[in-house]
Amino acid sequence: MSDERDPIRRDFKAFESISTRWMDNDVYGHVNNVTYYSYFDTAVNAFLIRQGGLDIHNGDAAGFVVSSNCTYRRPIAFPEPIEAGIKVDRIGNSSVQYGVGIFRAGEDEPAAYGQFVHVFVSRSDNSSTPVPASIRRALEQLR
């Protein structure tokens, strides 16, 4: 993580509501660690589709996750509603590093915090391509 402390709610610029699912719980009665990565991906891609015009089916560019991490602070469990806070830590020519916090509704400190990096690639040959202009504009709102 780039900060000395985990971000708190006010550090995030956008939020996506996510419904936990029965299948998210593991045998210990809380959301399994790997599921948080799905929440990260869901929140960021929902934002990119809605705010940046990302066309996941026919667009010229696609964002591939090339790096990710997560720090778990407290458990969550189905049927808790959660919110994923999204911020942008860095935007390069063809990549973006996101920070994503998973929050219980109304809480200021995240239950989990992670980062991941998208590299945008040309759908035709999977070669690196600049972040599309409409997506870059949306991402700038999250800095």
Contact assessment for residue 121 and residue 128, using Cβ atoms and an 8 Å cutoff: yes
Contact assessment for residue 112 and residue 32, using Cβ atoms and an 8 Å cutoff: no
Rg (CA), the chain: 15
The pLDDT-based confidence of 51 (bands split at 50, 70, 90) is: very high
* Cα–Cα dist 103/115, whole Å: 15
Q: Quote the CATH superfamily of domain 9-140.
A: Hotdog Thioesterase (3.10.129.10)
Classify residue 98 by burial, with Cβ atoms within 10 Å: 0-12, 13-18, 19+: buried
Report the pLDDT value the prediction gives residue 5, as an integer from 0 to 100. 75
Q: Could you give the percent of the chain with pLDDT greater than 70? A: 97
Average pLDDT in the 25-48 region? 95
* Interval 56-104: pLDDT, tens: 999 999 999 999 999 999 999 999 999 999 999 999 999 999 999 999 9
